[in-house]
Amino acid sequence: MSKPVPADAPPSVVVAPAPESAAVDGGVSVDEPAAATGGGVRSMVERWKMEGAPARARLVLRALGWLFSLLALVVMASNQHGHGGSQDFRQYPEYNYCLGIAIVAWLYTTAQVVRDVHRLGSGRDLIGTRKTSALVDFAGDQVVAYFLISAMSAAAPVTDYMRQKADNLFTDSAAAAISMAFFTFVAIALSALVSGYSFSMEVLV
């Protein structure tokens, strides 16, 4: 049997249980951000990966081009054997031209690798707008690839002719330098394809 409540007793205060997800700062519940923002973050990461795939591929190809061009210029520049002048690369204009183009390719790939690393890391390009950047990438890759194939076309016949008469360390070094220049050409030519794709997407969008 319950006791009677006095007439002058204060009214009882009923405290309602707190909701499972309390509102924070004007209306966003505690458990909503995980569901609301999780999908947004995931979609942004996936979109970044899709948009960054050509840039990452171009960076890898240019890094390979940098390595091969460095090997080409080092091997050709050190191709001085024997006491006679005939085994010195400086006596052959074709080899001097090949060395010069290898240096140009190395400088170009160095600059482009620095640009690509900065672009992937900060999201900003060192060259103006995206269309201008895509045009510079495409045109630069095309020009350097053309010079590389031109240098190989000049040096390869001379090397082949000398190897038919005497197969020695000088001709082997020349052939190795030309091979490294060819690998540089392949890497930059593939980079040109990626740059062409990126440029076409910028023009169409």
- 26 within a domain of the structure (yes/no): no
* pLDDT tens-place string over residues 131-174: 888 888 889 999 999 999 999 999 899 888 888 877 788 888 88
- 17 within a domain of the structure (yes/no): no
- 145 within a domain of the structure (yes/no): yes
- 11 within a domain of the structure (yes/no): no
- 41 within a domain of the structure (yes/no): no
- Residue 142 to residue 99: CA distance in whole angstroms: 19
Number of domains in the chain: 1
- 172 within a domain of the structure (yes/no): yes
Quick one: three-class SS letters along 40-85? HHHHHHHHHHHHHHHHHHHHHHHHHHHHHHHHHHHHHHCCECCCCH
- 46 within a domain of the structure (yes/no): no
- 3 within a domain of the structure (yes/no): no
Determine the structural domain holding residue 116 and report its residue range. 52-80+88-202
pTM for this predicted structure: 0.70
Q: Percentage of the chain with pLDDT > 70?
A: 71
* pLDDT tens-place string over residues 167-186: 788 888 888 999 999 999 99
Residue 66 has pLDDT above 90, yes or no: yes
Quick one: three-class SS letters along 152-195? HHHHHHHHHHHHHHCCCHHHHHHHHHHHHHHHHHHHHHHHHHHH
* pLDDT tens-place string over residues 92-131: 888 899 999 999 999 999 999 988 887 777 767 777 777 8
Residue 41 has pLDDT above 60, yes or no: no
